[in-house]
Amino acid sequence: MGLRAYLLVAVTDDCKDEFFQDLMAEIKNFAEVDFADPVVGAADLVIMVEANNLEAVAEKIAALKGVDKVEILRVTSVLERHRTSKTALLQKLQA
């Protein structure tokens, strides 16, 4: 099992509807992609990926024609997130 992440993808302003659908179809065919959904907001696509190297997948998507920007949001466990914040708090208290 690899690492999991959401990729927020913004497409270029000149990416037309038909081309956008082709781009989505191409991305959905990547082995590392669990799903890709169009969204409205700062990003145009939200993609769930699972891979040993998340950056490599993001770079592969960023290299596609029509892609403007890719942001990686790594999925972490609640316990890992809690442990990190607890460690920082303990270090501050001990200082």
- Characterize the bridge pairing of strands 33-38 and 67-74: unpaired
The CA distance from 34 to 29, in Å, is 9
CATH code for the part of the protein at 3-94: 3.30.70.920
Residues of the chain with pLDDT under 50: none
Query: Where exactly are the structural domains of the chain?
Result: 3-94
Strands (E), 1-95: 3-11, 33-38, 45-51, 67-74
Predicted confidence at residue 94, as pLDDT, reads 75
pLDDT, residue 17, reads 83
Quote the pTM value. 0.79
